[in-house]
Structure formats: structure tokens, C-alpha cells
Amino acid sequence: AMALIALLRGELLDTWQDQLPEDAPNHFALNVLPAERDAFAARLAELSPHPAPLYPVVPGRLVTINDEPVRQLVSKESRGERAIQRDLSLTWAEQLPADNQITSGRWWGAAHASELPGVSVEAELAESLQLELGDRLRFNVGGIEREAQVSSLREVDWDSFQPNFYMIFEPQTLQDLPATYLTSFYLPPGQDAELVTLSRAFPSVTLLQVDALLAQLRSILAQVTLAIEYVLLFVLAAGITVLLAGLQATLDERIRQGALLRALGAERQLLVSARRAEFGLLGAAAGLLAALGCELVSFLLYRYAFDMSWQPHPWLLLLPLIGALLVGTAGVLGTRRALNASPLSVLREG
């Protein structure tokens, strides 16, 4: 457990960041007003080589599915429960976003004939809400209700740092409603002055620095893992205490065995070497088990939980050595009375 915490504390975010493209967006711009949209886009084109498109954003809440209240259809344990408890950021677009992929249905560029406008839903959310193609969804947007029909399901790359949405509507569906715009962009290092100038030129726009958020996340993770490591140190100390207690329970037997071996001609150094080998092998086995377990758990986390590439960690081979030194030292110190007892007095008492 200690090795796994030490491994994931700093490596997890580093590995994730290393898998991102070098020019991945590192800033988000929110609350861009419609009147400032064109001027803001022109300014971004000067600062960033590949800014993301500006997406309109309208907050709205899903209220019914096929005319049935959504709260009666979604279980509290599902991911969809969190989605219906708050307003979703709704948007519309003519083209499918570059990092999205249609998994079912058709985009509106294809033949789309329906009396209701279409809406494209993120696939995992659709699964949790038990949505199917053709289902009718009703949204409440600031007291105004709008209805749409599920025309496609999308797979979204949430790690791209591009603006992503659960719901994308067909154009003309929400355009008459008040909206702000959202985008992300990459700003090369050393251009903080340009960011300040951009903020002053558009004071209503909220700029979020991804690097600052990640630095704050690292700080929080460091504090949490430090607390966990202290707890695990107490667990380790408790384990050594249990080891010493077990040695004390068998100490009389070890004293008699040591006295008998010395009476038969064994030297004290041989007994010391035997103790070191016994507890050293015990500690090495514990360290080897820890290394294998840590690699297995990290592989499962990287592959199935975080969907990231996994690399072996050769430094975990130090764990058997650390275990051998730690347990070996504790074992030899815990059984030193068996080495110092006089063979003659022990055999007479026996």
C-alpha cells in the first residue's frame, strides 16, 4: 500500500500530461458575450496557433423523457442522477466536433426528417439515462421549455481539453435564447503579459489557466497522500510490533534450540547468520509480494480505470531489499536473548 501511494502520488498526473499533445489547450475562456464574439475570436487567432471554435452555451435542465418525468426513470445510483440534479451546458453546432465520434444514429448533415429538432447525446450519459434513438427529450431553459428528439449518440474524448458537451442540439433549436460562448486555446509559455492584456481587453470573459488548476490539484494530492502515508507508517509500526510479539511468544523455544546447537559445537556466528537468513528471507518475501502487488494494481488502474498506457517500474525491485533489511534487523534484535543465553544454564533448567 505504501509503495502504491508513493508510485501514484506524482506519477499519475505526470503520465497523463505526457500523453497530451504538446499544443493541447491550456486555457479556457468562459462567458464570452455575443457582442464580443468576433473580436475575441480574432484576438485568439493572433495569440494561439490552433484555438478551438467558440461554442454557444445555454444552461438548461432535462425534465422529461418521452413525456415521463425524468426523476421517475433514473435510479439514484446511476451517473444520470447527477446529470438531472443540475443544469447542463447545452449548445448547438452544424459540424460534429473534431474529438467526437458518432456511435449510433446520424448527424444532421445526413438526411434528418422529423417534426422535432435533433439532439446528439454523449453515449455514456445516454446509457445511464436509458436513452435510445428517437426518444423525445424536454428541457427547461430559464422557464422556457424546448423539446428535441435523440438523433445520434456520441463518444467524447474528455481528455482532449477541448470544449465538450453532453447535449449538442441541431442549429436553430436554441438560437433565440440568451447564450454566452465558451472556448479553449493553447498559449505558449512566457506569454503571461498577453494573457493579462487579453483579460483587460475583455473584462467580462473568465479565463481559466489549466496549469494553475493542475498545480493546485498536485498540492491537494500531496497533502492527502502525506496524511495517508503517515497512517500507513503507523500500520507498518504495528506490523513490526506484531512481529516482535510473535518472536517473544516463541523466544523460550528459540533459546533451547540455540543452547542445544551450541552444546553440539555450533559457533555463535553460525546462529547469528541463521537468524539473519531467516528474517531476511521473510522480509524479502514481503517486499517481493509488495512489488508484485503494486505492479498488478497499478497496471489495472492505468489500463481499466484511467485508460492510460502503463510502464513497468524497476525501482520497485528495491522493495525486497528494504523488506529484508527492515524485517531482518527487527528479527535479529528481537531474538538476541536466544544468542546471549548460556547453553549450560539453559540445559540444566531444561
User: What is the DSSP secondary-structure string of 295-310?
Assistant: HHHHHHIIIIIS----
Tell me the pLDDT band of 350, cut-offs 50, 70 and 90.
Answer: low
Which of 166, 185, 204 is a domain's end point? 185
Position 333 in a domain: yes
SS3 of the chain: helix, strand, coil, percent, to 5:
55, 20, 30
Position 9 in a domain: no
Tell me the pLDDT band of 321, cut-offs 50, 70 and 90.
Answer: very high
**Distance (Å, rounded) from C-alpha 21 to C-alpha 23?**
5
Domain range for residue 315? 250-349
Q: Could you tell me if 176 and 285 lie in one domain?
A: no
Number of domains in the chain: 2
Position 233 in a domain: no
Q: What is the pLDDT of residues 167-211, one digit of tens each?
A: 999 988 888 899 999 999 988 888 888 888 999 999 999 998 887
Q: What is the pLDDT of residues 87-99, one digit of tens each?
A: 889 999 988 988 8
Which of 185, 210, 226 is a domain's end point? 185
User: ∠ at Cα 160 (157, 162), nearest 5°?
Assistant: 100
Please name the amino acid found at residue 148: A
DSSP conformation class of 314: G
Which of 185, 210, 242 is a domain's end point? 185
Is the predicted pLDDT of residue 347 greater than 70, yes or no? no
Q: Are 106 and 152 a contacting pair, CB within 8 Å?
A: yes
Q: Could you tell me if 254 and 181 lie in one domain?
A: no
Q: Are 27 and 208 a contacting pair, CB within 8 Å?
A: yes
Rounded average pLDDT over 50-70: 89
Q: Give Cα separations from 253 to 124, 145, 295, 335, 348 (angstroms).
A: 63, 83, 39, 11, 15
Position 206 in a domain: no
Q: Could you tell me if 179 and 288 lie in one domain?
A: no
What is the 3-state secondary structure of 20-68? CCCCCCCEEEEEECHHHHHHHHHHHHHHCCCCCCCEEEEEEEEEEECCE
Q: What is the pLDDT of residues 11-52, one digit of tens each?
A: 777 777 676 667 788 889 999 999 999 999 999 888 887 888
**Distance (Å, rounded) from C-alpha 131 to C-alpha 133?**
7
